Amino acid sequence: MKKVLGLLAVGALCGVTALTVTGCNGDGGNKFGFIFLHDEKSTYDKNFIDAAKEACKKKGVQAVLKVNVPEGEECFSAAKELAGKGCKGVFADSFGHEDFLIRAAEQYTDVQFAHATGTQAHTKKLANFHNAFASIYEGRYVAGVAAGMKLNEMIANNKISASEAKIGYVGAFPYAEVVSGYTSFYLGAKSVCESATMTVRYTNSWYLETAENSTCRTLIEQDSCVLISQHADSQGAPSVCESKEVPNVFYNGENKSLTKSYLTSSRINWVPFFEYFISCTLAKETMPYDWTGSLQNGAVEVYDASPLAAAGTQAKMDEVKAALKAGTLNVFDTAKFTVGGKKITEYKADVDTDADYTPDTDVIENGIFMESKHRSAPYFDLRIDGITEIIEKKD
């Protein structure tokens, strides 16, 4: 199969119904395999796909990409195929891939495996299996500051009253990853707009454009939200915001073309991790069970404020980013929020995940909820005051 600069566009030449292999000439060179839940239509997966291509190009290795791999036996089969065809490292990008990737790691002990958003590496303690994530809550906090500045502008211009400064949030699932993200976003907004509140509704899917679209409409039309953000993987919510000219804070990319709604966005830049994974694997260097990216190493990114943002937003975002990098500002400072009207002084989180989500680790130190310290994947699951979480019952 023809190779073009060691990298081919996803699905260009190796189309295999649900599993698409890229750059799969099968001989020579150092190869690394990547497993993605969806394809480039998903903003979440596109962020990984673009990073995999860039990192492999920089490191001079061949990328073998599989897209549209479900969270089931298909993942195990894909991982075995990649390892069996000579990939020195294999990465998967979705939470539900983890168990199947672990099975492959146990079978192919000479191949390094890495997984995003997973929780088990530090308890499994396999020398060739690793979890990776980033302190994206810092990026969401900064993006939240932009949202708060916009709310303040709307109040000052008499478009809304202070009591109407209500944020809507389209969440995928009520998991810690989503809770950590929307809480940090809200805390950022509230740091500059004291009257801000938030309503969160869930789609119960990571990637379902119709559900994200309708959930966003409900937040605006039924819940009276005047600004929207999201933790879901399509353009469903932003497209509604654009049509209704409701300010939107995006995730996993820029939306500059949406000139009537887009304010800013945050994302995890996976290039630093992929480069690290490739380098350590080729050099046969020991990697930690958990790798956590940050603002400092470029893994957490916040895009510049758009022209629609309130005056002074970019300067304020830069100020907040600098404070986070310096450690003079902590996102989950317990002095800045309450739960049920009370300050939180101690809390055990489910870090060593089990089926019952049993709390096992003290995570508050010196008044700070230490997200990312005990594993890379989020475990902040407190429901703080000021945020209304709406979970619709299933039939």
For 95-152, write each residue's pLDDT tens digit. Answer: 999 999 999 999 999 999 999 999 999 999 999 999 999 999 999 999 999 999 999 9
For 155-192, write each residue's pLDDT tens digit. Answer: 999 999 999 999 999 999 999 999 999 999 999 999 99
For 263-299, write each residue's pLDDT tens digit. Answer: 999 999 999 999 999 999 999 999 999 999 999 999 9
Please provide the CATH number assigned to the domain covering 31-134+270-293: 3.40.50.2300
For 16-25, write each residue's pLDDT tens digit. Answer: 334 555 554 4
Do the domains at 31-134+270-293 and 136-268+302-328+380-390 have one common CATH topology? yes
CATH 3.40.50.2300 describes domain 136-268+302-328+380-390: yes
Q: Which residues of 145-159 are buried (b: 16+ CB within 10 A; e: fewer)?
A: bbbbbbbbbbbeeee
pLDDT of residue 274: 98
Helices (H), the chain: 43-59, 73-84, 98-107, 121-124, 136-156, 176-190, 209-221, 236-244, 271-283, 313-326
Q: Which of 274, 267, 281 is nearest to 229 (CA)?
A: 267
Domain boundaries, the chain: 31-134+270-293, 136-268+302-328+380-390
- Is the pLDDT at 1 greater than 80? The verdict is no
pTM of the entire structure? 0.92
Question: How far does CA 341 lie from the centroid of its chain?
Answer: 29
Mean pLDDT across the stretch 370-382? 97
